[in-house]
Amino acid sequence: MNIVVVDKKDVLLKTDNSTLVVDTQKVPFRLIDTLIIIGKTSLKTTDIIKLTADKIDILLLSYNYKNASIITSTLRKLPELKLRQYNKATTLPLPIAKNILSKKINFHIEHLREHEIDIDFTPYTHKISDATDLDSLLGIEGSFSRLYFEHYFSFFPKSLHKSKSSKRPPLDPLNAMLSLNYTIFYNLISIRLMAYGFEPGIGFLHRPFRSHNALASDMLELIRADINAYVYDIFTKRIIVQSDFTNRGGVYLKYEGRKKLWSHFRELSSMLESKIDEGIKELRSAL
């Protein structure tokens, strides 16, 4: 993914022919797949049309990442794919859901092993195989996630977390970092799914609900362990520290902290691009 992040106060953002102008910096359209804009900025309708006409997707995020909007022109109709997706999700979702959950648990166990914590995957294999409905699978996922995060939180000093997961809002710096990255990749995956022709609102492990892109949440499960490992590195290398966060109805990364983050984020997105595409292509083959 060629991602350009615009996260700057009072930024001048416009297009000039086939170039994005960010204050005095210029980025050719050919070097951009996705433009992420955080916080308040001005972008004219004519500029948005130029960007999307050049197949550049735009992700708009509020500073606390509670709200997000996607602007894309890369939608592929592919009604036959959407019909197959709908039919499989309503008649036979379990095989795909089981595959997603098995991979998620396996990837997370591999991450824990990097920290010399060994969990046997075999019992989970049997539980997933024996599950007869989605509620059973979600119960397995929930119990494993609690176990995983008990270990994961132990990797960090107590000053960074409250020993439990929290979101909407995140209540500590560690959950704030996890929430920020989960949110961004959930939306990037949504864009990717639409580009492939999927309906992102129809999932297999996750159920459709209002504006939730359930299929994006399904695909996010395949890279959560990678995101968790990345967050661990960010804190361990002190790229981000506790003073980079603020508590404003929840704990969030300050603007100055986010500025330090983006170059490392681009490395992560480049690394995960092939894994996301591989998961989407495998899903298409399963329909």
Q: What is the pLDDT of residues 214-254, one digit of tens each?
A: 999 999 999 999 999 999 999 999 999 999 999 988 999 99
245 neighbors 176 (Cβ within 8 angstroms): yes
229 and 103 in one domain?
yes
Do both 131 and 257 map to the same domain? Answer: yes
* φ/ψ of residue 70, rounded to 5: -115, 130
Q: What are phi and psi for residue 195, nearest 5 degrees?
A: -65, -30
Domain that holds residue 226: 79-286
Last residue of a domain, one of 29, 54, 71: 71
Report the predicted TM-score, pTM, of the whole model to 2 decimal places.
0.93
Closest CA to 107 of 69, 49, 148, 140: 148
Residues 226 and 273 in one domain: yes
Residues 279 and 216 in one domain: yes
H or E segment to which residue 27 belongs: strand 25-28
Q: How many CB atoms lie within 10 A of CB 119?
A: 17
91 and 58, same structural domain?
Answer: no
CATH assignment at residue 7 = 3.100.10.20
Final residue in a domain of this structure, among 49, 71, 93: 71
Percent of the chain past pLDDT 90, that is, above it, reads 74
| 224/90 same-domain check | yes
CATH number of 237's domain: 1.20.120.920
168/273 same-domain check: yes
What are the pLDDT digits (tens) for 8-62? 877 888 999 899 999 888 999 999 999 999 877 888 999 999 999 999 999 998 8
Written as six digits, the tokens of 18 are 């086939």
End position of a domain, from candidates 50, 71, 92: 71
Check whether residue 157 and residue 50 sit in a common domain.
no
Give the Cα separation of 75 and 73 in Å (integer): 6
Contacts of 115 (CB under 8 A, 6+ apart): 151, 155
Within 13 Å, how many C-alpha atoms sit on residue 202's CB side? 18
Q: What is the number of domains present in the chain?
A: 2
